[in-house]
Structure 1
Amino acid sequence: MSPSEWYWSLRMAWRDTRGSRFKLFFFSLTVTLGIAALVATSGFGSNLQRAVATQAKSLLGADLVLSANNQLPEDIQALTQGLAGPRSRWASFASMAYFPAQDQARLARVRALEGEFPYYGALETDPPQARLRFDHEAAALVDDGLMTQFDLKVDDRVKIGEQEFVIAGRLLKIPGESAMASAVGPRIYIPFRYLDQTRLVQFGSRIRYATAFLADGWDPDQWLETHEKALRAARVSFDTVKIRKENLGNAFENLETFLSLVGLAALVLGGIGIASSVHLYANRKIETLAVLRCLGGRTGLTMWIPIWVSLGMALIGVLGGVLLGLTIQWVFPLLFQAWLPVDLDYQIDAGAAGLVLVLGVVLAGAFTLLPLSSVWFTTPVALFRKGTEPDVRATRRLRRLLGFLLIFCLMGFIVIQAQRPLLGLLFGGGILLLLALLFGLSWLLLKLLKRFRFRRLPPMIRMALANLHRPHNQSALVMLALGLGGFLILNHTMVHQSLIAQFTRTGSNDRPNMILFDIQSDQVDALQSLLTRQTLPKESPIPMVTMRIQSLKGKPIREWIGEDESTQVPEWAALWEYRSTYRAEQSDTEEIIAGEWVSHFSGQEAVPLSLEESIAETLHLTVGDEVVLDVQGVPFTCRIQSLRKVDWQSMKPNFYMVFPAGVLEEAPQMFVQAVQTPSSQAAAELQKSLFIQFPNISSVDLRLLLKTIDDIVRQATFAIRFMALFFVGTALFVLGSCLVNSRQQRLDELAILRALGAHRSQVRILTMSEYGFLGFLSALFASGLALLSSYLITHYGFRVDWVWNPSLILWAVLGSVLLTTATGLMTELGWNPNAILERLRAEVR
Structure 2
Amino acid sequence: MAWRDGKASLSRLMLFMASIILGIAAVVSIQLFSDNLKQNIQLQSKALMGADFLIDSKQIPSKKVQAIIDSLGASASEVNFVSMAAFPKNNGTKLVKVRAIEGAFPFYGNLATDPVAAGENYQELGGALVDATLLLQYNLNPGDSIKLGKLTIPILGALKSIPGSTAISSSIAPTVLIPYRFLEETALLQVGSRKEYQYFFEAPAMDLERLDKKIAPILKAENADLDTHTSTSQRLGRRYDNVSRFLNLVAFIALLLGCIGIASSVHIYIKEKLKIVAVLKCLGASRKQTFLIYLFQILSIGLIGGILGAAIGIVLQYGFPYILQDFLPFNVAISISIWPIIMGISLGVLMSILFALLPLLGTWYISPLEVLRGAEDNLQKPKIARIAVGFLILLFIFLFSFWILKDALNGLFFTLGIFIIFAIMGGVANAFIKLIKKYFPSSWGYTQRQSLLNLFRPNNQTLVLVLAIGFGTFLISTLYFTKDILLAKTTIENKKSDANIILMDVQSIQETALLETFKSKGLEVIDNIPIITMRMQSIRGESVNEIRKDTTVKMRKWILNREFRVTYRNALSATEEIVAGEFTGKRLQGVPIYISIADNIARDANLNVGDAVVFNVQGVLMETIVGSIRKVDWSSMKVNFSILFPTGVLENAPKFNVMTTQVPNKESSAALQRDLVQQFPNVTILDLRQVFTLVEGILDKISWIINFMAFFSILTGFIVLIGSVRNSKYQRIKESVLLRTLGAKSKQILKITALEYVYLGILGSLTGILLSLIGSQLLATFLFKEPFIPAVIPFLVFLPGVTFLVVLIGVSNLKSVLRSPPLEVLRKEV
* Deviation of the 1:558 alpha carbon: 5.5
Tell me how far apart the structure 1 counterparts of residues 310 and 124 of structure 2 sit (CA, whole Å): 57
2:509 equivalent to 1:522 = yes
Q: 1:508 to 1:87 in 2, by over 3 A?
A: farther
- SS of the residue aligned with 1:158? strand
Q: Structure 1 unaligned segments of length 5 or more: list them.
A: 1-11
* Deviation of the 1:465 alpha carbon: 3.1
- SS of the residue aligned with 2:517? helix
- Equivalent position of 2:40 in the other structure: 51
- Equivalent position of 2:530 in the other structure: 543
Identity %: 35
* Deviation of the 1:228 alpha carbon: 2.0
1:148-167 mapped onto 2 (5 Å cutoff) = 148-167=136-155
Q: Which residue identity does 1:243 align to in structure 2?
A: S
Asked whether the equivalents of residues 498 and 804 of structure 1 are also in contact (C-alpha less than 8 Å), the reply is no
Which one is further off, 59-68 or 249-258?
Answer: 249-258
Q: 1:222 to 1:839 in 2, by over 3 A?
A: closer
Q: Runs (4+) of structure 1 moved beyond 6 Å?
A: 388-393, 507-510, 561-565, 837-843
Q: 1:660 to 1:800 in 2, by over 3 A?
A: same
Tell me how far apart the structure 1 counterparts of residues 495 and 462 of structure 2 sit (CA, whole Å): 47
Q: For 2:85, which of 79, 97, 117 is the aligned residue?
A: 97
- Equivalent position of 1:486 in the other structure: 473
Q: 1:759 to 1:563 in 2, by over 3 A?
A: farther
- SS of the residue aligned with 1:535? coil
Q: For 1:741, which of 724, 727, 741 is the aligned residue?
A: 727
- SS of the residue aligned with 1:114? strand
Asked whether the equivalents of residues 287 and 363 of structure 2 are also in contact (C-alpha less than 8 Å), the reply is no
Deviations 1:622-666 (A, max 9, x none): 444433322222222223333333333331211112222212111
TM-score by length of 2: 0.94
- SS of the residue aligned with 1:321? helix
Tell me how far apart the structure 1 counterparts of residues 430 and 297 of structure 2 sit (CA, whole Å): 29
Tell me how far apart the structure 2 counterparts of residues 109 and 456 of structure 1 sit (CA, whole Å): 74
Tell me how far apart the structure 1 counterparts of residues 377 and 192 of structure 2 sit (CA, whole Å): 84
Q: Which residue identity does 1:193 align to in structure 2?
A: R
- Equivalent position of 1:439 in the other structure: 426
- SS of the residue aligned with 2:456? coil
Q: 1:82 to 1:445 in 2, by over 3 A?
A: same
Asked whether the equivalents of residues 545 and 670 of structure 1 are also in contact (C-alpha less than 8 Å), the reply is yes
Tell me how far apart the structure 2 counterparts of residues 769 and 389 of structure 1 sit (CA, whole Å): 29
- Equivalent position of 2:491 in the other structure: 504
* Deviation of the 1:408 alpha carbon: 5.2
- SS of the residue aligned with 1:285? helix
- Equivalent position of 2:452 in the other structure: 465
Tell me how far apart the structure 1 counterparts of residues 448 and 621 of structure 2 sit (CA, whole Å): 80
- SS of the residue aligned with 1:699? strand
Deviations 1:108-158 (A, max 9, x none): 111100001111111111111113443334311101111111111001100
Deviations 1:195-234 (A, max 9, x none): 1100112111111111111127543332232122211100
- SS of the residue aligned with 1:82? helix
- Equivalent position of 2:61 in the other structure: 72
Tell me how far apart the structure 1 counterparts of residues 813 and 619 of structure 2 sit (CA, whole Å): 79
Asked whether the equivalents of residues 394 and 415 of structure 2 are also in contact (C-alpha less than 8 Å), the reply is no
* Deviation of the 1:342 alpha carbon: 2.5
Tell me how far apart the structure 1 counterparts of residues 497 and 391 of structure 2 sit (CA, whole Å): 62
Q: 1:456 to 1:188 in 2, by over 3 A?
A: farther
Deviations 1:573-626 (A, max 9, x none): 332211111122332333444443333211232212222333333333344443
Deviations 1:338-362 (A, max 9, x none): 1112311222223321232134313
2:755 equivalent to 1:769 = yes
1:392-431 mapped onto 2 (5 Å cutoff) = 402=389, 406-407=393-394, 409-418=396-405, 424=411, 427-428=414-415, 430-431=417-418
- Equivalent position of 2:24 in the other structure: 35
* Deviation of the 1:711 alpha carbon: 0.7
Q: 1:312 to 1:442 in 2, by over 3 A?
A: same
* Deviation of the 1:431 alpha carbon: 3.4
Q: Which residue identity does 1:222 align to in structure 2?
A: R
Q: 1:450 to 1:605 in 2, by over 3 A?
A: farther
- Equivalent position of 1:596 in the other structure: 582
Which one is further off, 65-74 or 456-465?
Answer: 456-465
Asked whether the equivalents of residues 191 and 505 of structure 2 are also in contact (C-alpha less than 8 Å), the reply is no
* Deviation of the 1:812 alpha carbon: 1.5
Asked whether the equivalents of residues 506 and 651 of structure 1 are also in contact (C-alpha less than 8 Å), the reply is no
Tell me how far apart the structure 1 counterparts of residues 470 and 436 of structure 2 sit (CA, whole Å): 17
Q: For 2:361, which of 344, 366, 373 is the aligned residue?
A: 373
2:682 equivalent to 1:682 = no
- Equivalent position of 1:638 in the other structure: 624
* Deviation of the 1:694 alpha carbon: 0.5
Tell me how far apart the structure 1 counterparts of residues 368 and 788 of structure 2 sit (CA, whole Å): 62
- SS of the residue aligned with 2:622? strand
* Deviation of the 1:388 alpha carbon: 8.1
Which one is further off, 279-288 or 826-835?
Answer: 826-835
- SS of the residue aligned with 2:249? helix
Asked whether the equivalents of residues 562 and 570 of structure 1 are also in contact (C-alpha less than 8 Å), the reply is no
Q: For 2:518, which of 526, 531, 542 is the aligned residue?
A: 531
2:142 equivalent to 1:190 = no
Asked whether the equivalents of residues 563 and 569 of structure 1 are also in contact (C-alpha less than 8 Å), the reply is no
1:199-238 mapped onto 2 (5 Å cutoff) = 199-215=187-203, 218-238=206-226
Which one is further off, 97-106 or 19-28?
Answer: 19-28
* Deviation of the 1:382 alpha carbon: 4.2
Q: 1:564 to 1:756 in 2, by over 3 A?
A: farther
Q: For 2:262, which of 256, 262, 274 is the aligned residue?
A: 274
Tell me how far apart the structure 1 counterparts of residues 818 and 14 of structure 2 sit (CA, whole Å): 25
- Equivalent position of 1:250 in the other structure: 238
Asked whether the equivalents of residues 91 and 111 of structure 1 are also in contact (C-alpha less than 8 Å), the reply is yes
Deviations 1:723-743 (A, max 9, x none): 111111121122122212211
Asked whether the equivalents of residues 65 and 210 of structure 1 are also in contact (C-alpha less than 8 Å), the reply is yes
Tell me how far apart the structure 2 counterparts of residues 302 and 388 of structure 1 sit (CA, whole Å): 20
Q: 1:69 to 1:754 in 2, by over 3 A?
A: same
- Equivalent position of 2:707 in the other structure: 721
Tell me how far apart the structure 2 counterparts of residues 757 and 548 of structure 1 sit (CA, whole Å): 90
- Equivalent position of 1:693 in the other structure: 679
Tell me how far apart the structure 1 counterparts of residues 279 and 296 of structure 2 sit (CA, whole Å): 18
Tell me how far apart the structure 1 counterparts of residues 80 and 733 of structure 2 sit (CA, whole Å): 73
Asked whether the equivalents of residues 425 and 767 of structure 2 are also in contact (C-alpha less than 8 Å), the reply is no
Which one is further off, 59-68 or 93-102?
Answer: 59-68
- SS of the residue aligned with 1:376? helix
Tell me how far apart the structure 1 counterparts of residues 343 and 577 of structure 2 sit (CA, whole Å): 55
Q: 1:217 to 1:647 in 2, by over 3 A?
A: closer
* Deviation of the 1:518 alpha carbon: 0.7
Asked whether the equivalents of residues 652 and 674 of structure 1 are also in contact (C-alpha less than 8 Å), the reply is no
Q: Which residue identity does 1:814 align to in structure 2?
A: P
- Equivalent position of 1:610 in the other structure: 596
Deviations 1:728-787 (A, max 9, x none): 112112212221221133344444544565554443332222111111111211111111
Tell me how far apart the structure 2 counterparts of residues 508 and 327 of structure 1 sit (CA, whole Å): 51
Tell me how far apart the structure 2 counterparts of residues 801 and 397 of structure 1 sit (CA, whole Å): 46
Which one is further off, 757-766 or 679-688?
Answer: 757-766
Asked whether the equivalents of residues 513 and 676 of structure 1 are also in contact (C-alpha less than 8 Å), the reply is yes
Tell me how far apart the structure 2 counterparts of residues 403 and 485 of structure 1 sit (CA, whole Å): 22
- Equivalent position of 2:539 in the other structure: 552
- SS of the residue aligned with 1:152? coil
Asked whether the equivalents of residues 609 and 626 of structure 2 are also in contact (C-alpha less than 8 Å), the reply is yes
Q: Structure 2 unaligned segments of length 5 or more: list them.
A: none
Asked whether the equivalents of residues 673 and 685 of structure 2 are also in contact (C-alpha less than 8 Å), the reply is yes
Tell me how far apart the structure 2 counterparts of residues 432 and 696 of structure 1 sit (CA, whole Å): 57
Tell me how far apart the structure 2 counterparts of residues 839 and 564 of structure 1 sit (CA, whole Å): 81
Q: For 2:801, which of 815, 824, 829 is the aligned residue?
A: 815
Q: Which residue identity does 1:523 align to in structure 2?
A: Q
- SS of the residue aligned with 2:339? helix
Deviations 1:431-466 (A, max 9, x none): 345434443344334434543334675553344333
Residues matched between the structures, number: 830
Q: 1:713 to 1:352 in 2, by over 3 A?
A: same
